[in-house]
Amino acid sequence: MRWIRRLLRRRPKLTPPRPDTTPGQQAADKALSRAQRARREVESHRPAVSEVAARLARERQRNHFAEIFRDALEGGHH
């Protein structure tokens, strides 16, 4: 029993409470908020960007086939 009392008496002192947020943490929180807002904005434009990319891919493919066809008519080799 004596060793238990000794352990209880030797408890380390509690450290004083730290402030909830430091200036560095506040800056990091603001940066995170800005990044999250920017990501939401970019993601809101994703459907329009995908639509334009698909249209450009179709145009590129159509131009490629037209070039092959034109080359075949002119007697060249592609």
**DSSP structure class, residue 10:** T
Angle at CA 66, nearest 5°, toward 75 and 50? 155
The alpha helices in the chain, defined as continuous H runs, are: 2-9, 23-73
pLDDT of 36 > 70? The answer is yes
CA distances to 5, 7, 9, 10, 13 from 2, in Å: 5, 9, 11, 13, 21
20 band by pLDDT with thresholds 50, 70 and 90: confident
pLDDT of 8 > 60? The answer is yes
pTM higher than 0.85: no
